[in-house]
Amino acid sequence: MPEAIYQFPEGFLWGTATAAHQVEGHNTNNNWSAWEVEPGRIINGDKAGLACDWWNGRWEVDLQNAARDGQNAHRFSVEWSRVMPAPDRWDESALDQYRTMLKGMRRLGLTPVVTLHHFTDPLWIYEMGGWENEQTPIYFKKFVRKVVTAFKDEVKLWVTLNEPNGLVVNSYISGGFPPGKKDFKAAFRALKNLVRGHAAAYHAIHEIQPDAMASYALYYRGFFPKSNWSPLDALATRSLMGNVNEVFSNAIKDGQVKFALFKDFVREAVGSQDYVAIQYYSSDLVSFTPFNPGELFTRRRSPPGAEVSETGFIANVPDGMTQALKWARQFRKPIYITENGVDDSKDTLRPSYIAQHLHKVWQAANFNYQMKGYFHWSQVDNFEWERGWSQRFGLWGLNTQTQQRTRRRSADLYAAICKENGISLEAVRQFAPEVFEILFPS
C-alpha cells in the first residue's frame, strides 16, 4: 500500500493519444504530404516520412509498451485518404489494417477511442477546396458511415473532429497548416463546414450505433487577464475565450456559428455532443493592446514564473487545466482529457508537468466532475505538423533513422500512475521529485 495517494475514480481510462499522419508513415495521398514538399512550410524541411512506422506494424511495439505500463485505453485516428483514396473508391485493405490494430488493442486490454478526422484531408478533398467547399461535409459523412459500420462492434467512443477550432486558426488565420491562408472570410466558411461535418458525423454515428458516445475534441487554451482590475484586459481575455475556445462549442450549444464579424446558423449541430473532450496544453496571460488588430487587440505572454518547454512552445500552467475543466463542467456531460503533454526531448519538465496536471484532474474528479479518462500526448515522439521533428512529445523517444525507441523517466511515472489508478507519494518522490513539495507538502 502506498503511504498516500490521489486516487482516481474506478474505471478511469488511462491512455496515450496518437494521430494517423503523425505515426503511420507513408501517407502520400493527403494534404499534408503535399504541404511537406513545399519549401519553407515545415521546420528544417522535415517530412512525416516513415514516422513511427505504424503502418508496417510497429504500432504493436508502442502499444505493447503502453499496455505493459498499465494503460487501459488508446486514442488513435483513421486516415480518411487511406480508406477513401478517391471520391468513388474504398480501400478495403486499409480498413482491414485498422481492424487488425483494433483487435490488437483489445488483445492488449486497451479500450480504443477513434478519431475520424485529425487534421488531414485526402488530396482530392484538398484539391476541391478542403473545408471551404460545402461538399466536404457530405463526403466526410460518407467516410464516417463506412468506418463506423465497419468498426461498430469494436469501438464505442468516437471523436468526430480533432480540434476544429485550432484547425481553422492554423489553416486560415496564422497559415501554418495547409492551405496556409490568412483570410477571415475563408476561416468562417471552413468553420461553418466543419460544424456541418461534425453534426453530420455525429448523427451518422448514432444512426448506425445508437449506444455510441461521440463528440469533437476541443483545443482549450487557458486565458488569464494580465491585470485582475483592468476592464480592458478582462475584455481582451473574454474575446479570446470566445474566438478561440468557444467558437466551436457555441455552435454545438445553440447552432450559432460566429467568428470575428461573421455569423450563421447550423440547426443540426444543436446538442451534437455526448461527452466533452478537452485538449489542454498551456495558458497565456492576456492584456489589451490597440496595436494588434490581427490578434483581436490582444497581447499574450507566458505567465511569469511558469517553466517553459525547450522550444518555448508550452508554458507549464496546471491552473489552466482547472480553468478548462471548470469551463467543461457547464455541459453536465462526462469529461475526457483527450490530449495533454509537453515537448521535452530531455524529459526534464515532463514528469512534473504530468504530475501537476493530473493532480488538477484528480481535484476536479473529487469535486464530483464527471472525469472519465486521460490521454497523454503522446506514447512516442512523432511528426509534429509544421514543427516537424523539432519537438518531442513522447513518453518514449524515437530515433527516426533506426526506429529505436528509448524509454524516458516520464514513462515510469505515468506507468506508476496508470497501474495504481492514482498519483502516489512514492511515484512522485521517485519520478517527479521536483514537485514533491507541491503535491505532498510535508
Chain residues binding ligand GAL by CB under 6 A are 19, 22, 162-163, 166, 219, 279, 339, 377, 384-385, 393
CB 180, CB 41: distance < 8 Å: yes
Phi, psi (rounded to 5 degrees) for 264 = -160, 180
> Nearer Cβ to ligand GAL, position 12 or 393?
393
Q: How far apart are CA 297 and CA 292, in angstroms?
A: 5
Min CB(166)–ligand GAL separation in Å: 6
> Nearer Cβ to ligand GAL, position 136 or 279?
279
CA nearest 138: which of 206, 76, 203? 203
Q: How far apart are CA 78 and CA 20, in angstroms?
A: 6
Q: How far apart are CA 338 and CA 330, in angstroms?
A: 18
Min CB(19)–ligand GAL separation in Å: 5
CB 393, CB 378: distance < 8 Å: yes
> Nearer Cβ to ligand GAL, position 120 or 237?
120
Q: Which residues contact 20 (CB under 8 A, 6 or more apart)?
A: 27, 76, 77, 78, 79, 82, 118, 120
CB 209, CB 148: distance < 8 Å: yes
Min CB(9)–ligand GAL separation in Å: 25
Min CB(170)–ligand GAL separation in Å: 9
> Nearer Cβ to ligand GAL, position 160 or 162?
162
Q: Which is it for strands 396-398 and 73-77: parallel, antiparallel or unpaired?
A: unpaired
Min CB(43)–ligand GAL separation in Å: 12
> Nearer Cβ to ligand GAL, position 150 or 168?
168
> Nearer Cβ to ligand GAL, position 22 or 272?
22
CA R_g for the chain:
21
Min CB(119)–ligand GAL separation in Å: 7
Reading the block at residue 24, the C-alpha cell is: 503511420
